Amino acid sequence: MMVSALIERELTRVGSPVRNGVFVAVVGPSGAGKDTLIAYVRERLTDDDHVEFARRVITRNSDGATEDHDTLADAAFVEAEASGAFALSWEAHGLRYGIPASVDDAISVGHVVVANTSRGVIPALRARYAHVAVVEITAAPEILASRLAARGRESRGEVLARLARTVPHDLSGPGHVLIDNSGAAEIAGEKFLAVLRRSVAYADVSGLV
C-alpha cells in the first residue's frame, strides 16, 4: 500500500473525507439498465488504469445474467461488515450490499471508482469522499416494467406494484447527472462515458492541489 493511501485511510478514520480521486455512484430504479451501461463504459475503458469498477458483495447468488458480484451469506456479511471490510454497506429489497474498503485506497491515489449503489446512501458517500459524481440512470415507467417483467423474477402486477412503491430521493447537488436510458444503450452509454472522462480529468487536477 502506498504511503499516501495509508495517510488517507487514517484521515478517514478520524473523520476527514478521502480526497484526490472521484467516486462515481451509479443509481436508478431496477430495470433502468445500470448494469448494461456499466458494462458499456467498462469495455471502452479497458486501457485506462485510472478507472476502477468496484466489485460489490451481495447476499445473493450471482445468476450469470446481470452483475458479476461476490456472494456472502447473511451471517458472513454481518461479520465482514463489523470487521471493516466495506467502505459502504446498505440493505435493499431484503438483501445486503457492500462496497469493498479497498476503494478508499484507489480514490486516495487519484483514481476514479465506479460503483452501482443505492440512492439512499448518497449522503453517506458525499460525507466519506471529497469528490462524488452521481450518475442517475432513468427510463420511462413502461420500459422499466417491461424490462423487469422480462427477468421472470416477478409477475407484471408485482413489478407495477413495486414501481409504485418507489420512494423518490433528492439527489440534487454537485456532480449530479441524469441520463435517460429509454432508448438505445449506446446513446446513454456515450453520455455516461463522457462523465467518466470528465471525472478522470478532474481527478488528475485535484491530485495536484
Does residue 64 have a known ligand-binding role?
A: no
Does residue 141 have a known ligand-binding role?
A: no
Which helix H or strand E contains 79, and what residues bound it?
helix 74-82
Write the CA distances from 201 to 126, 169, 179, integer angstroms: 19, 28, 20
| Cα(185)–Cα(60) distance, integer angstroms | 26
Does residue 191 have a known ligand-binding role?
A: no
Does residue 29 have a known ligand-binding role?
A: yes
Based on the number of CB atoms within 10 Å of its own CB, is 85 exposed (0-12), middle (13-18) or buried (19 or more)? middle
Beta strands in the chain (DSSP E): 22-27, 51-53, 57-58, 70-71, 86-92, 95-100, 112-116, 132-138, 176-180
Does residue 189 have a known ligand-binding role?
A: no
Does residue 34 have a known ligand-binding role?
A: yes
The answer to whether 25 and 122 have CB atoms below 8 angstroms apart is yes
Write the CA distances from 66 to 89, 112, 140, 154, integer angstroms: 20, 23, 20, 16
Can you say which residues are annotated as belonging to the binding site?
28-35
Binding positions for ATP are: 28-35
